[in-house]
Structure 1
Amino acid sequence: MGIVHPDRYFARISAIDVQKDLLGCGITHALLDMDNTLVSRASGDVPSDVRNWLSRARNAGVSFCIVSNNWHDTPRIHGRELGIPVVAKACKPLPHGLLAARAAIGARSNDTVVIGDQLLTDVMGAHMLGMKAYLVAPLSEVDLRHTNALKPLREALLAGFVPENEHAASSCAPDARD
C-alpha cells in the first residue's frame, strides 16, 4: 500500500463503526480533519450524524483532536463548540502539527488514526508518522480552488477504491485491491 493510499475509505465519518473499526482495531485516539470531514464547506455546519458519531465515539472512550491547516479562527470555534482540542496551522502532511495533536491527547502512533478527506494531507501525513489513515468522502463538493484542482489526481489515486457505508464488513487490515 502506498503512502497516499488510505487504510480504509468510508462514505463519511459516521459510517465508521466505533466498536469494530476503531476500538476493535486497537484505535483509541483519532486526529480529525475539519473541513469537509467534520464541517461541510458548503454550509459551515457540523451535520447531525457527525455530531452523533462524535458523541458515540467519545462515550466509548475514543479521544479526539482536530488537526487543521486553516490559519483563521474557525477551527478553534468549532473545537470549542464540539469540546475537542485543536491544532491549527498544522501544515499537513508535515509532521509537526500531527505530532502536536497526538501529544495533546496522549496518543501513540499504534493507537491513533487520522481521519480526513484529503489524500495528500491527511493520509500522507498519517502514514509518514506510522499512523493509520481513514479517508472519508468529502461532506460537500464545495472546496478551495487548489483542492478542486487536485480532484483528478485524487480520482486517479483512488481508482478501485469504493467507500464503505454503514453496512460494509469491517476489517482492521488494509483493503485488498489486487
Structure 2
Amino acid sequence: MISKFKPTWMIPVVYNISPSKLKDMGIKAVFSDLDNTLIPWNNPDGTPQLREWISELKKNNIELIVISNNKHSRVQRALRSLKLNFISRSLKPLPRGINKALRDYHLHHKEVIMCGDQLLTDVWASNNANVRSVLVKPLIESDAWNTKPNRFLEKLIWKKLRNKYDDLDWQEDINDRN
C-alpha cells in the first residue's frame, strides 16, 4: 500500500523540469496541480519563472493542463492570465481528473506526467491512474486550511516511504528512469 505514495521523481520546483527533456522522453502533456505547485495558494499571479516555463513547454509542443480539486470558478480565476486548460473538481486522490484529461486530450498515460506538491492527493492520484508523478516542494510554507490535515498525514507516510525505499532523493531535473 505504501507504494501508492511513492513519486517517480522529486524535483524542488516544477519550473526545473526541462521541456526539451520531456520532449525527448515522448511527453506530450504535463498535468499539474495548481495551488503551491504552479502558483502560491494565496497569490493567483503567476511568477516570471512560471511564464517562462510555460513558454518553453509551448516551444516544445507540450501542453500544460491543470488538474485541481478546487471548484471551477476558483481555477478559472487563477488561470485567467495564464490561459491554461484545466480540469476542476478532480477528486484527487481518485484518478478521475487525470483519466478525464487523458480522454479529453486523447493522450496515453505514457505521454504525460503529473506534478504536484502533495503525496496524499497528487502522487496517489498519479499512481492510481498509472501516470508517472513528479513531487515538488510547496512554493510557500503555509497551506490553505483544508490542506493542513494532509500535511500531518504526509509526515507519517514519509517515514514509511523512507524505510522502504532508498532512492527518494531530490533531483534538479527529471531523468529517463521509469
**Shared fold, TM over 0.5:** yes
Matches within 5 A, 1:3-152: 3-20=4-21, 22-71=22-71, 73-152=73-152
Alpha-carbon distance in 2 for matches of 1:99, 1:150: 23
Rounded to whole Å, the distance in 2 between the matches of 1:150 and 1:128 is 18
Q: Which runs of 4+ in 1 moved over 4 A?
A: none
2:131 counterpart of 1:162: no
Match of 2:175 in 1: 171
Q: Deviation of residue 43 (structure 1)?
A: 2.7
Q: Which amino acid aligns with 1:108?
A: H
1:17-60 residue CA offsets vs partner (Å, 9 max, x unmatched): 1122x222221111111001111124332221111111101111
Cα distance change, pair 145–80 in 1 and its aligned pair in 2 (3 A) = closer
Q: Give TM-score, length-normalised by structure 2.
A: 0.85
Name the TM-score, length of structure 1 as normaliser: 0.85
Structure 1 vs Structure 2: percent identity of aligned residues?
Answer: 25
Count of aligned positions: 170
Decide whether the 8 Å contact of 2:37 with 2:139 is kept in 1.
Answer: yes
List alignment gaps of at least 5 residues for structure 2: none
**CA displacement 1:89-140 (0-9 Å, x = unmatched):** 1111112221122223221111111111111111111111111011111111
Distance 1:162 1:120 in 2: 18
Q: 2:49 & 2:106 partners in 1: Cα distance?
A: 27
Question: Which residue type is aligned with residue 175 of structure 2?
Answer: S
Instruction: For residue 141 of structure 1, give the secondary structure of its aligned residue in structure 2.
Output: coil
Extract unaligned runs of 5+ from structure 1: none
* d(CA) in 2 for partners of 1:68, 1:110: 20
Q: 2 CA distance for matches of 1:103 and 1:84?
A: 17
Question: What do you get for the CA RMSD once the two structures are aligned?
Answer: 2.0
